[in-house]
């Protein structure tokens, strides 16, 4: 699939996977997962807390998605004196809303991962009481990161939803892009954090937004 091909065609999961791994961000996250997993297995010393970490992270992840989407990806540029604060993630996300089918813009920008991945490695090394627990954190984060990238990519690809669970996730995210950008902020789940935080309304009761493809009306 090319970035300029607007035609719809059937897409199988193997075809989607081949396209998925061609882009920088998934292999970068996969490398984190592989290295962290190898180190965690080598260290051993499995404890009950190693089972608690994945449970807590799975419960928190929809809310983390929501916060990042609202506060960072939908950041409105702000001027502080002569300086305009407009982070790369926000700029790329605005481009993604302009053309949701442009493949390169679906993924987390690799430039951002150049500092995000070292930052989470430092967090794992110093914020946990045991290095082994920090490595467990990195393993789970790698799995969640790949799940996010894969789900987001599939939603914007020509892959047709087959399960009811995926169909709900697909529908919610398409509402965000094509109905109203002020709602439906979660990506890998349907109506979790959005329901709790009041951003999962009845689509029939929400007006279509004229800025869904032009966040903050910043494009000419």
pLDDT tens, residue order, the chain (220 aa)? 444 444 456 789 999 999 999 999 999 999 999 999 999 999 999 999 999 999 999 999 999 999 999 999 999 999 998 999 999 999 999 999 999 999 999 999 999 999 999 999 999 999 999 999 999 999 999 999 999 999 999 999 999 888 999 999 999 999 999 999 999 999 999 879 999 999 999 999 999 999 999 998 877 5
Report pLDDT for 9: 66
Q: Which residue has the tokens 């309304």?
A: 201
Length of the chain: 220
Separation between Cα atoms, residue 195 and residue 113, nearest integer Å: 29
Residue 169: burial class (beta carbons within 10 Å; 0-12, 13-18, 19+): buried
Residue 173 lies in a domain: no
Residue 77 lies in a domain: yes
User: Which 3-state string (H, E, C) describes the chain?
Assistant: CCCCCCCCCCCCHHHHHHHHCCCCHHHHHHHHHHHHHHHHHHHCCCCCHHHHHHHHHHHHHHHHHHHHHHHHHCCCCEEECCEEECCHHHHHHHHHHHCCCCHHHCCCCHHHHHHHHHHHHHHHHHCCCCHHHHHHHHHHHHHHHHHHHHHHHHHHCCCCCCCHHHHHHHHHHHHHHHCCCCCCCCCCCCCCHHHHHCCCCCHHHCCCCCCCCCHHHCCC
Residue 19 lies in a domain: yes
Both tokens assigned to 163: 């399960």
Report pLDDT for 220: 52
Q: How many domains does the chain have?
A: 1
Residue 171 lies in a domain: no
Report pLDDT for 10: 78
- Domain of 52, in residue numbers: 13-163
Residue 137 lies in a domain: yes
Report pLDDT for 32: 98
Residue 122 lies in a domain: yes
Residue 54 lies in a domain: yes
């Amino acid at each position: 699939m090319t970035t300029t091909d607007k035609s719809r065609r059937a897409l199988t999961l193997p075809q989607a996977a081949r396209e998925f791994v061609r882009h920088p961000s998934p292999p970068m996250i996969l490398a984190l997962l592989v290295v962290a997993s190898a180190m965690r297995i080598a260290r051993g010393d499995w404890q009950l807390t190693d089972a608690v970490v994945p449970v807590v992270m799975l419960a928190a992840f929809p809310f983390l998605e929501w916060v990042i989407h609202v506060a960072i990806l939908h950041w409105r540029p702000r001027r502080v004196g002569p300086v305009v604060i407009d982070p790369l993630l926000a700029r790329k996300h605005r481009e993604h809303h302009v053309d949701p089918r442009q493949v390169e813009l679906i993924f987390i920008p690799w430039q951002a991962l150049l500092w995000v991945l070292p930052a989470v490695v430092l967090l794992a090394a110093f914020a946990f009481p045991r290095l082994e627990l920090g490595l467990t954190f990195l393993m789970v984060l790698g799995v969640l990161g790949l799940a996010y990238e894969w789900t987001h990519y599939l939603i914007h690809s020509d892959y047709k939803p087959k399960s009811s669970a995926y169909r709900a996730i697909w529908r919610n995210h398409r509402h965000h892009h094509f109905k109203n950008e002020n709602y439906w902020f979660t990506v890998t789940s349907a109506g979790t954090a959005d329901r709790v935080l009041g951003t999962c309304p009845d689509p029939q009761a929400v007006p279509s937004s004229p800025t869904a493809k032009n966040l903050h009306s910043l494009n000419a």
